[in-house]
């Protein structure tokens, strides 16, 4: 039995008492998502399950499940029912009114993020408390697992200690420009100048932090289960680890990192540069995208899901993530909506019409690729980690030996 057939059988069994559906019907819907739209099987299952929940007017937790005792380390699949004995390591301020509590749980094998929905009407967990939790549902987003407390979850506080693995070091307050050694523990007061999409499932967030002395790339690992940083937010960050690659320093957020959002403004040092070269690639995530509208979140949705707010009705945006080759090195460049409209002569409304006509948002990126690929540009803007933000740009005629530059770019 294939994964799709297995998923179809299990979904059918969940809804057979409330909906008149066949295994074949469910399998056909899954096959369409997986084969025609290239949706991962697990995400396709969630999508089909959600549609049947709506049709049956049911909440997800009403599906129920046979939970089993697990350790955090052993959680490796979404939509499983599990029991955990854990300590509440940290509670964070919920970013949505639909969430009652959110934070970090730990046991002897590791840590995991948890969410308790407001509609579940459960007793609150106390930071530092140890609990026996039964009937939790596992979830996954971009390789990062979490657990959800729902109205069927039972909570029992117990009087015992759990030896949660710890790591970390003695950190000290630094300015970004002072970071010149890898593997040091530092504290920063910094503004999130830019966020961009991770290239690996092991990374939860990656972007640029800034203070008056300069900017530095940061990485937040998926396994750290830290709260999301918001673009433009100012934070006091403690217990960061410095890193270095080819002379460029960065900082890593880990599960011992403390994150406190500050209600203040922070000026960021200017790292503006100018690059000239051939636009040789349009990266994934370009064209017509959707962002989360909840609480000014603006995160880019993946298959209709926000990493913080789950399935939401996204708001359309337009952008280009381009690669410009100057003949010596390549520069990854981001054009926001305004710059993209100027670059492509396609407005956001026109892009939405193109996607509606084709029933496919990828046609917008394809159209952009055909218009700009191989042309030469001068781009000016701040450096944001590996990206240059295109604040200003102009189209050029190109160097004398254009083919040599393109051949070099294709060989990278």
pLDDT band at 320 (very low <50, low <70, confident <90, very high): very high
Q: Determine the pLDDT at residue 288.
A: 93
User: How many other C-beta atoms can be found within 10 angstroms of the C-beta atom of residue 349?
Assistant: 11
Give the C-alpha distances (Å, rounded to integers) separating 72 from 6, 42, 105, 133: 25, 20, 9, 12
222-236 tens-digit pLDDT: 767 789 999 999 999
pLDDT band at 249 (very low <50, low <70, confident <90, very high): confident
Q: What is the mean pLDDT of residues 21-47?
A: 84
246-250, 255-259, 346-350, range with greatest mean pLDDT: 346-350
Residue 142 has pLDDT above 60, yes or no: no
47-75 tens-digit pLDDT: 888 888 888 877 665 665 567 899 998 99
- What does the alpha-carbon distance between residue 112 and residue 85 come to, in Å, rounded to a whole number? 12
Q: Determine the pLDDT at residue 409.
A: 47
The average confidence (pLDDT) of the chain is 82
**pLDDT > 70: what percent of the chain?**
84
Q: Determine the pLDDT at residue 245.
A: 57
Q: Determine the pLDDT at residue 37.
A: 73
Give the C-alpha distances (Å, rounded to integers) separating 106 from 115, 140, 162: 14, 17, 8
Q: Determine the pLDDT at residue 45.
A: 83
Q: Determine the pLDDT at residue 38.
A: 75
Residue predicted with more confidence, 108 or 246: 108
CB neighbour burial string for 6-26, b if at least 16 within 10 angstroms, e if fewer: ebbeebbebbeeeeebeeeeb
Q: Determine the pLDDT at residue 402.
A: 46
- What does the alpha-carbon distance between residue 407 and residue 327 come to, in Å, rounded to a whole number? 10
Q: What is the mean pLDDT of residues 356-363?
A: 86
82-124 tens-digit pLDDT: 999 999 876 765 657 788 898 778 898 877 889 998 888 899 9
Single out the residue of 34, 58, 56 nearest to residue 45, CA to CA: 34
Ramachandran assignment for 19, one of left (phi > 0), alpha (psi -120 to 50 degrees), beta (any other): beta
Q: Determine the pLDDT at residue 188.
A: 96
Residue 141 has pLDDT above 70, yes or no: no
Q: Determine the pLDDT at residue 131.
A: 96
- What does the alpha-carbon distance between residue 5 and residue 7 come to, in Å, rounded to a whole number? 5
pTM confidence score: 0.41
Residue 351 has pLDDT above 80, yes or no: yes
88-92, 198-202, 325-329, range with greatest mean pLDDT: 325-329
Which pairs with CB-CB distance under 8 Å and at least 24 residues apart come from 3-12? 3/41, 4/30, 4/31, 4/34, 4/41, 4/44, 7/41, 7/44, 7/45, 7/48, 11/45, 11/48, 11/49, 11/52
Q: What is the mean pLDDT of residues 17-23?
A: 86
Residue predicted with more confidence, 411 or 359: 359
User: How many other C-beta atoms can be found within 10 angstroms of the C-beta atom of residue 368?
Assistant: 24
Q: Determine the pLDDT at residue 282.
A: 92
Residue 174 has pLDDT above 60, yes or no: yes
- What does the alpha-carbon distance between residue 70 and residue 105 come to, in Å, rounded to a whole number? 13
258-283 tens-digit pLDDT: 899 999 999 887 667 889 999 999 99
Which residues lie closer than 8 Å to 324 by C-beta, 6 or more apart?
275, 276, 277, 278, 279, 280, 330, 331, 333, 377, 379, 388
Q: Determine the pLDDT at residue 412.
A: 42
């Amino acid at each position: 039995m294939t994964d799709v057939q297995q998923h179809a059988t299990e979904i059918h069994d969940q809804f057979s008492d409330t909906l008149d559906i066949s295994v074949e019907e469910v399998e056909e819907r899954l096959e369409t998502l997986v084969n025609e739209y290239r949706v991962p099987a697990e995400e396709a299952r969630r999508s089909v399950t959600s549609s049947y929940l709506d049709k049956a007017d049911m909440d997800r937790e009403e599906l129920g499940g046979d939970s089993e005792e697990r350790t955090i380390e052993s959680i490796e699949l979404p939509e499983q029912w599990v029991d955990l004995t854990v300590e509440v390591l940290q509670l964070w301020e919920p970013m949505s009114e639909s969430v009652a509590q959110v934070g970090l749980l730990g046991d002897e094998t590791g840590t995991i993020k948890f969410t308790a929905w407001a509609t579940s009407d459960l007793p609150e967990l106390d930071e530092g408390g140890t609990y026996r939790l039964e009937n939790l549902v596992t979830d996954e987003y971009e390789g990062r697992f979490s657990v959800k407390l729902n109205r069927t979850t039972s909570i029992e506080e117990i009087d015992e200690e759990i030896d949660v693995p710890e790591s970390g070091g003695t950190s000290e307050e630094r300015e970004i420009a002072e970071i010149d050694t890898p593997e040091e523990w530092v504290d920063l007061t910094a503004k999130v100048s830019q966020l961009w999409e991770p290239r690996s499932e092991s990374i939860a967030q990656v972007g640029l932090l800034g203070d008056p002395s300069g900017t530095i790339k940061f990485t937040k690992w998926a396994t750290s289960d830290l709260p999301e940083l918001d673009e433009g937010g100012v934070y006091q960050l403690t217990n960061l680890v410095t890193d270095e690659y080819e002379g460029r320093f960065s900082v890593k957020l880990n599960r011992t990192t403390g994150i406190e959002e500050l209600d203040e403004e922070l000026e960021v040092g200017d790292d503006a540069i100018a690059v000239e070269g051939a636009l040789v690639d349009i990266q994934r995530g370009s064209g017509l995208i959707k962002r989360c509208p909840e609480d000014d979140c603006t995160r880019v949705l993946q298959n209709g899901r926000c990493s913080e707010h789950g399935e939401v009705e996204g708001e359309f945006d337009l952008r280009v993530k381009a690669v410009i080759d100057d003949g010596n090195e390549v520069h990854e460049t981001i054009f926001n909506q305004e710059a993209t409209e100027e670059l492509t002569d396609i407005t956001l409304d026109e892009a939405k019409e193109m996607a509606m006509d084709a029933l496919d948002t990828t046609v917008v990126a394809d159209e952009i690729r055909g218009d700009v690929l191989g042309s030469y540009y001068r781009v000016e803007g701040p450096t944001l980690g590996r990206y240059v933000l295109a604040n200003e740009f102009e189209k050029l005629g190109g160097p004398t030996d254009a083919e040599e530059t393109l051949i070099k770019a294709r060989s990278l």
